[in-house]
Structure 1
Amino acid sequence: MNKNIVRTIGVMTLTLHAFAFADVVNGDFESWSNGVPNSWDTIDSGIEVSQSNSIVYNGDSAAAITVNTTTQGSTDFRQSVDVVSGESYTFSVWVYHTEGGVSARLYVDGYQGYSTPSNTGQWQELSYAYTASSTSSIDIGLRFYDQSSFDGSELVYVDLFSPTDSTSEEPGGETCESNSGSFSLVTDNYGSETSWTITNSANAVEYQGSGYESNTTYSESVCLTDDTYTLTIQDSYGDGICCSFGSGSYSLTFDNVTVASGGEFTSSEATTFTLGNSGDNGGGDGSGGNNDTSDYYSNASGMTGYSLKTALYNIIKGHSSQSYGDLWTFYVSYGLDSYYENDGSILDIYSELPSSNDPYSFTSSSDQCGNYSGEGDCYNREHSFPRSWFGGAVAPMNTDIHHVFPTDGYVNSKRSSYPYGEVGSSTFTSQNGSLLGAAVSGLGYSGTVFEPIDEFKGDIARAYFYMATRYEDVISSWESNSSYGDAVLNGTSSQVFESWFLTMLLNWHQQDPVSQKEIDRNEAAYSFQSNRNPFIDNPGYVNDIWGN
């Protein structure tokens, strides 16, 4: 990890430049201890700060700041820097809004300019030119202000507070001309037990690390040529790095795509990944993707029935839970229409017309909800499996990308938390033909249901089979959380669904086979949160588990 080199360079830079040039110490947020960014000594009670290796402006990490209060005086994030009388400085910082419900205000020896919170899903710079009136120390940092759309908790990313005391270059000034990535490690209570290696296809070690302190965050840049590699992380005691003795974790990312991550294992965990052109990710004929996932599902090989379901649960559980704001970012990269109009707009299952032009379209990021009064105003995050059914904004279900889709905000509100079903008499029809109304006679349920168009019924069914499997350990307790959930869930962890609903899902799964869109989204979800939907990769699993 070159820890001694990194620390020596940091101390030398601080000694030479901090006083003369008002350097912001750890302004690039590359140095962390016990989950806290080093040198940022004012972190108010109304905010929580954690390290981000996914949304980054510069270098390997940024600060992910969650604002949890409307009390503005409890949201300060600051440190002190030394300035010299008569010297001029330009302080700047980059911020990234996820929802638009809070603004960031730059603080440089007083309150300065605000960010534009509506510019979500993109980096924006705040800066201020300052001339010191005396040789002294001044406070610099940020304060956060709630807006009318603030829902009580919102994530803002912060990076490269300048002038900073470090640069993004590797020691020695080397740059990466191949695949530039970042390995991040958070150690548990016994950091010395953890070690890791990255080996290439010839089993030669490219990178390795060991000898870590406990409860400390490390980050190392890696540079790899096109090849197939294996990241192996080991714990000498055999209890992994999470969650019995601390909350350790690790991740390896390239171009903001996570290729390996985790924390819960025993003695070791190995992940193989390929950099460069690895061929077609295709499929689309209803048989699932062409990627060879046999190793991923090897522990489920040869099984059927509910034993297969439990084996799949053990494979896909413990995924890397993301923030609610990270869903917006996923949609910007992976929620776009490359399949119908192919126009790069948000692919919304409640407005998409597969065989003709859509009635309206949403531009990613800029058309996020927000307020709405009708169709076409904005898009939001639709929990296809309503979150009231699992108890509200509860992690990790609330941000599990496998069941949360971008949809028209107004239509989403119409769907509410009603069960999916088949409508006999509609009270509302969206512009793409999605229906709300009384269930059709013979469905087995007589209440209000919401029916998506045929093109996406299989997508919904496979999302529900995923939820039944991923949350096998807790889903039997969800039946009483909501009357609508009670109509769908049967209170077991095996069949999970009431017979009427299961029969309908099986029909939808059969009638609307796996599409290329689902295959691509499943691959992106795996990179995003490190688990897969087995029923997209292997559609036959549905019949193997629930067919009888």
Structure 2
Amino acid sequence: MKKTINIFLLIISFVVLQNCDEDQFESSLNYVSFGDTTYSTGVDVGGSNTIDVYVYTSSKVSSDVTFNIEADASGAADGSYSIPTSVTVPSGSNEGKFTLTLSDVDLGIGINRIELSFTDVTSGYDNGGSTTVEYIQNCTEVTGTLDFVFDTFSDETSWEITDALGGVVLSGGPYARSAGTASESLTLCSGRDYTLTIFDAFGDGMFDGANLGSYTLSIDGEVKISNDGEFDAEVSTAFDTK
């Protein structure tokens, strides 16, 4: 009889422990997460675009549940995005959606990145991680030339073209001593703002005391910059491809 009671108590203990484990397992699955780890899109020159970001709960909710959204936009151009601060999963569903508006505001030529995460997650839910929205300005290529007439010390001359975010998109030089002239082919994106910077390593511009150099930048046959070589260590000039 005593043996039978011990077996019965053992079975009861196993059932109770099993139920506790199941409750704990089910609780750990009650979470909210983004639909994808990365969302990517492009924005037309001078235009805007929208992108839908989805979130999911592990099971259907019995009433509307709202989750707060936090955005780290340190990797994106200021003013190029509009992001809601929360998203709601409606009653009877496990899916919610919010929309980002992205605009061509100083996007530059590189990838803009915004990291989205949940903050102050609603009680009873675990945080399922973050997602990244990546976007670029769609590029229609234009071609051009950068032409030099050097002074004697062409080996002191170099140059770079930067976009609106300060990123270097093209560069060249220095050149061989007494090169005379040089012509560089350029490929840029239409509708963007750029800056051309000419450098002189000696710090006296493109002038050797007797010969004064010059440089000309043209896009699709239109002269955008035309300067002589009178400067010191460097000279920067803004231009656009509009």
TM (norm. structure 2) is 0.39
Q: Which has the larger radius of gyration?
A: 2
TM (norm. structure 1) is 0.18
- More contact order relative to length (CA 8 Å, sep ≥ 6): 2
